[in-house]
Amino acid sequence: MESPARRRLTAINSHLHPSPAAEEEVSVIRRNVTSSSSPPFFDDQQYSVVLPEKLQTGKWNVYRSARSPMKLLGRFEDHPEIGTLHENFVHAVEAYRDYKYLGTRIRVDGTVGEYKWMTFGEAATAREAIGSGLRYYGLEQGACVGLYFINRPEWLVVDHACAAYSYISVPLYDTLGPDAVKFVVNHSGIKAIFCVPETLNTLLTFISQIPSVQFIVVVGGADEHLPSLPSASGVKFISYLKLLGQGRSNLQPFCPPKSDDATICYTSGTTGTPKLHFLSSFGAYYERSNQVICLHNGVGVGFYQGDNLKLMDDLASLRPTIFCSVPRLYNRIYAGITNAVSTSGGLKERLFRAAYNSKRQAIVNGRNPSPIWDKLVFNKIKEKLGGRVRIMGSGASPLSPDVADFLRVGLEATSIQTGNTGYGMTETSCIITLMDVGDITIGHVGSPCAGCEVKLVDVPEMNYTSEDDPYPRGEIVREVFDDDWFHTGDIGLWKKNIFKLAQGEYIAPEKIENVYAKCKFVAQCFVYGDSFNSSLVAVVAVEPDVLREWAASQGIQHEDLGQLCNDPRARNAVLTEMDNVGREAQLRGFEFAKAVTLVPEPFTLENGLLTPTFKIKRPQAKEYFAKAITGMYAELSISEATPSKL
């Protein structure tokens, strides 16, 4: 066996020296071997190449990545022998055994310090022990194992154990609520559940209603504090540490799955019960896809404390080079910094504007920005995320181009791979298209990933066709099996949340909500419209401190935030500021909200207005704010019917 020093040297060399194949001289211009009707050559900078759907039809309407036009990639190019999650983990342990893998800040006594790391080798030892422990307790191959706690090292250790011992992992999300968790457990027939003391309390409220469960493993719980149930219940309680110890004393050989099923993902949706999706060994949704890639390349993964309010402190301590989040957080970072700049006034504001514009222009023109701007302005901003971020990922919903630009300039991330520059769904194993690293353009969702084909299907009732000039338009579909296509329900570059106003104009509300999110008064925004009305209205969850500060400057007295939100002067001030932001973003006339309702409470998972990925549940929001929506349209109809004074 190689020494740790030799393994480390080999890994470093693999990053420093390309493979022989990569060293071959490759022309920038390549022959387009897929098409006889398209140009015979294509530039390496081209996003995709076109293919016929069926060779006998001659209709060229299927797109593949220009990186792999002749075949779809289903495995890692550098290690095509890896075909399962288990094999990927074995590769990582062999290549990076002594490297940092899983990091956490929580000490044994519950306090928070610097990150403490588990190496790949240590994770491998724990994985074998947990898998052996499950076998020790009689869990049969193919059984479903639930994971009912937030992200932490034990989550991945259990998931790796499932991949090594032929168990199917089933994430259970506390944000879905107890009824949804109960549904998922019963629907998938989960036999064992890993949880923490907090989620254990939830399980105990319906333990008698999940008869398939044989035992529950409590992470972070002591055996003497675990509950006991009558033997007739058939449910055993075990601490994670006890299971780990029993597994170490009774190690079992690996038995990775022969079938493709690796995990069952239940998406929340916006209506009804959670939706089930079987995913194969290399099929996983956004976060887990990132983790699989990190694992393959020996990248350490740091976990947050579990408190969103302390996330920025965790980032400053971890100092990541790759950071993945959601637009909601990025919007807050953007709004907080830009508002601070606006209120600073004078020389500081002018300096920031000059630095931002100069650096942005240099990036757009392909030049190296002057380092003076980082020293004077941007280093302090970069330190908020640890100072080393180079790649930022965003999912769940679109990210405003302005925010993407700001992150690229202010935080110097070389690749802002965002919901605005990438596209995918859980049902399609996350990614369908993705922005190329180094691409500084915005307003597109990148090119098809090398593992799938994409085409547009005509939607005649909405006047979208693949023959539209200058650009084909239609419903986005992706090939998932040999002759089968998955219909996303999304139209072109627009998200599926679109509707038509009375005059026939189509509206993409998420785009408008992202614009209004930059208004200083707006914490969250729900834009509504329908085919019975010719204008939009909005419900705004306000930024409390900003609104109170404005009221104080205007001498407006109020007993509480709710009373201030109902004050017509406050509504007018917020709508005016939203109009200003809308004009700056060049919204079209029909995209402006004509009336606004202010609410003091944020949209949350608890009040049913957000999905676990923090998207607005539009049907629920419509019902929740039905009275306010009706009132706004009534006011608009009266104002429109009132003749203007001459």
SS3 11: helix
- 509-639, which class in CATH? alpha beta
Report the C-alpha gap between 68 and 562 in whole angstroms: 57
Task: Return the CATH number of the domain spanning residue range 119-292.
Answer: 3.40.50.12780
Q: According to the model, what pLDDT value does residue 390 have?
A: 83
CB 138 within 8 A of CB 146: no
Alpha-carbon distance of 403 to 399, in angstroms, equals 7
What is the mean pLDDT of the segment spanning 572-584? 94
Length of the chain in terms of residues written: 646
Identify residue 478 by its one-letter amino acid code: R
Distances (CA, A) of 472 to 436, 469, 496: 22, 6, 17
Place 294 in a pLDDT band, splitting at 50, 70 and 90: very high
Res 280: pLDDT: 47
Distance in angstroms (rounded) separating the CA atoms of residues 77 and 626: 53
State residue 98's pLDDT score. 96
CA atoms within 13 A on the CB side of 46: 21
Q: What is the 3-state secondary structure (H, E, C) of 451-485?
A: CCCEEEECEHHHCECCCCCCCCCCEEEEEEECCEE
Q: What is the overall mean pLDDT for the chain?
A: 80
N-to-C CA span, the chain: 92
pLDDT of residue 370: 86
Provide the pLDDT for residue 192: 97
> Any idea which of 8-12, 76-80, 205-209, 634-638 has the lowest mean pLDDT?
8-12
What is the per-residue pLDDT across 349-405, written as a single tens digit (0 to 9) for each?
Answer: 899 989 998 888 777 655 678 889 888 998 888 888 888 888 887 776 777 778 888
Q: Is 401 helix (H, G, I), strand (E, B) or coil?
A: helix
CA distance 331 to 82: 38
What pLDDT does residue 42 have? 38
Amino acid letter, residue 385: L
Show the 3-state SS of 538-579: EEEEECHHHHHHHHHHHCCCCCCHHHHHCCHHHHHHHHHHHH
Question: Could you report the per-residue pLDDT of 585-643, keeping only the tens digit for each?
Answer: 888 888 999 999 999 999 988 888 987 667 788 888 999 999 999 999 999 988 765 55
pLDDT score of 430: 67
- Cα distance between residue 453 and residue 473, in whole Å: 16
pLDDT at position 530, please? 86
CA 440 – CA 404 distance, rounded (Å): 10
Coil, helix or strand at residue 56: coil
Q: Which backbone phi and psi does 77 adopt, to 5 degrees? A: -65, -35
CA torsion, points 199, 205, 206, 211, in degrees to nearest 10?
80
- Angle between helix axes 286-296 and 85-96 (nearest 10 degrees) is 40
Distances (CA, A) of 531 to 293, 471, 507, 621: 45, 26, 11, 18
Q: What is the pLDDT of residues 117-150, one digit of tens each?
A: 999 999 999 999 999 999 999 999 999 999 999 8
**What percent of the chain is predicted at pLDDT more than 90?**
37
The pLDDT of residue 333: 84
> What residue spans define the domains of the chain?
119-292, 319-449, 509-639
| Mean pLDDT calculated for residue range 65-94 | 87
Q: Are 613 and 326 in contact (CB under 8 A)?
A: yes
